[in-house]
Amino acid sequence: MSYKIPMGPYHPGLEEPYKLDMICEGETVQDAELHIGFNFRGIEHLAETRNYYQVIALMERVCGICSFIHTLTLCQAMEKLAGLEAPPRAQYIRVVMAELERLHSHVLWAGIAAKLMGFKTMFMTCFALREKVMDVLQAISGNRVNYSMNRIGGVNRDVEDPLALVGMVEDLEREMMRTVIPIFTTSSTARSRCAGIGVLTHEKAISCAVVGPTARASGINQDLRRDAPYAAYAEMKFEVPLEQAGDVRARLFVRALEIMESCRILRQALTSMPPGEVSMGGDKFAFVTGTATSRVEAPRGEVMYSVSWKEGSRNPARVHVRTPTYANMPAVRWMVRGARLADTPLIQASIDPCYSCTDR
C-alpha cells in the first residue's frame, strides 16, 4: 500500500520553506510532488518601483548567499542599456568577489551536507572555514552578507592591497586540501551516504535543463565562465570539473574540485590585477529604450536577468530573474524516485537549493 509523506514546508531537516510530498511504498519513494511559493516576495514587481540605485540594493536581497552575483548580473544588464563598460580593474575585482562567494557557498553547502549525513564534526569544520572566507569578503567590502560592491559601470570599493589577500586565499586552500576535500572524498561515512544515491541521469539532466554543479555532476559540460565569459574570466585559466555518475557523491566531488579551481582563479586575479579606476564615475545614468539580458555562473549555476527600460525613466520597466534553483529544483522529483525515504533530505540538499532565490 502506498502512502504520502509530506516533508515541509517547515521540516526540521530542511529549514527552508518548501514542501515535498513523497508517495512511498514502504521505505521507498515512488514519486514526489514539489511545492514552492510559501514565502514568495514579488521582488520583480517591486523592482519596477525602484530607481536605478535602489534596484541594485533590492536585487542584492534576492539571495543571502549569492548577493554579489545578483547585483553583478543586474549591473551588467544595466551597463548594456547605458552603453557602459566597467574598467579592467573593476572586472578583476568582480572576479575576486564572485569566486570568494563561490567558496563561501560551496563550503556552506558542504557543512549542511555533512550535517545531513550525520557528520557533525565535519559540519563544524566547514563552518569554521566559511568564517575565514567571510573574513576575506569583509576585508574587501566591509560587509559579510550583502557586500554593496557593484555599481553601474564598476565597483564601489577598490582592493587596496590584492597581494595581501593572496596569503589568506592560500591558507583557505591549504585547509581545504588538508581536511575538507580528503574527508569528503575518502571517508566511509561520506561514501556510504552519497554513492549511488539520488541519481540524475545524463539524459534526464538534459531534459530538465539543469545548471551548475548539478548539471556538471551528470556529465553536462557547461560553465558560463568558460562558454560565455564575462567580467575578466576570459583572462583566467581554470578547468571545469565534470563527473558522470549523477549521484550525490558526484555533486559533492564537482563542488570540491570547484573549490580548488576557485582558489586558482583567485590567485590569478589577485596577482595580476591591473591598475586603474574601479568605476566609470558619475552618478547619473541614461538608459536607452530596450531590453538587455545578462548571465552569470553563480555557485549553484546560471543566473539570468532580463532588464527592460524606457528612455528617460529612472525605474526599470521590467526585471525578470531566472535563478539556478528554479531550474534545478524540478529535477529533484527524478532524483528521489526509488530512493530510501531517509536519504531524501540529503538528496534535496545535494542540489544546494536556495529558496530565497526561488521565492524571489
Partner 1 sequence: MTALETIREKLGTVEPWVENRGTHWLNPGSLSVRQVATVMNQVHARFITITAYQLPGSEGFRLEYHWDLDGRLLGLPFVIAGNSTESIFDLCEAADWIEREVHEEYSIDFTGREYEPLLLRKGDKSGVNLREEPAAKPAAAAPGQKEVAK
Binding footprint of partner 1 on the chain (CB under 8 A): 33, 35-37, 40, 42, 44-45, 80-81, 206-209, 222, 224, 226-228, 290-295, 302, 304, 306, 308, 317-318, 320, 322, 326-327, 329-330, 359
Least distance between partner 1 and beta carbon 144 (Å): 30
Cell output for 233: 574570466
Nearer Cβ to partner 1, position 121 or 237? 237
User: Could you tell me the smallest distance in angstroms from the CB atom of residue 320 to partner 1?
Assistant: 4
Q: Minimal CA–CA distance to 48: which of 313, 241, 252?
A: 313
> Of 54 and 291, which has the nearer Cβ to partner 1?
291
Question: What is the C-alpha to C-alpha distance for residues 7 and 115, in angstroms, rounded to an integer?
Answer: 18
Q: Judged by CB, which is closer to partner 1: 46, or 260?
A: 46
Q: Which is nearer to partner 1, 167 or 290 (CB)?
A: 290
Torsion from C-alpha of 225, 229, 232, 237, nearest 10 degrees: 60
Q: Kindly state the smallest distance separating residue 45's Cβ from partner 1, in Å.
A: 6
Residue spans of beta strands (DSSP E) within 192-300: 290-298
* Residue with Cβ nearer partner 1 (98 or 159): 98
Residue found under cell 529535477: 331
Cβ at position 209, least distance to partner 1 in Å: 3
Cα 107 from Cα 113, distance rounded (Å)? 10
Give the pairing type, strands 318-322 and 290-298: unpaired
Q: Tell me, what amino acid is at 297?
A: E
Smallest distance from the beta carbon of 202 to partner 1, in angstroms? Answer: 12
Q: Please, which residue, 44 or 235, has the CB nearer to partner 1?
A: 44
Q: How far is the CB of 138 from partner 1 (least distance, A)?
A: 33
Please, which residue, 60 or 302, has the CB nearer to partner 1? 302
Considering beta carbons, is residue 256 or 327 the nearer one to partner 1? 327
Closest separation in Å from C-beta 289 to partner 1: 12
Q: How far apart are CA 153 and CA 83, in angstroms?
A: 9
Q: Is the alpha carbon torsion for 89, 93, 99, 102 positive or negative?
A: negative
Q: What type of residue sits at position 263?
A: C
The answer to whether the CB of 66 falls within 8 A of the CB of 303 is yes
CB of 186 to partner 1, least distance (A): 34
Q: Which is nearer to partner 1, 261 or 359 (CB)?
A: 359
Q: Looking at the chain, which runs of residues are DSSP E strands?
A: 2-7, 19-25, 28-35, 150-151, 154-155, 290-298, 301-309, 318-322
Query: 24 with 341: CB under 8 angstroms?
Result: yes
| Rounded-to-integer distance, Cα 350 and Cα 302, Å | 17
Report, in Å, the least distance between residue 333 CB and partner 1. 10
Cell readout for 341 is: 525515504
20 Rama class: left (phi>0) / alpha (psi -120 to 50) / beta? beta
C-alpha span between 229 and 46 (Å, rounded)? 30
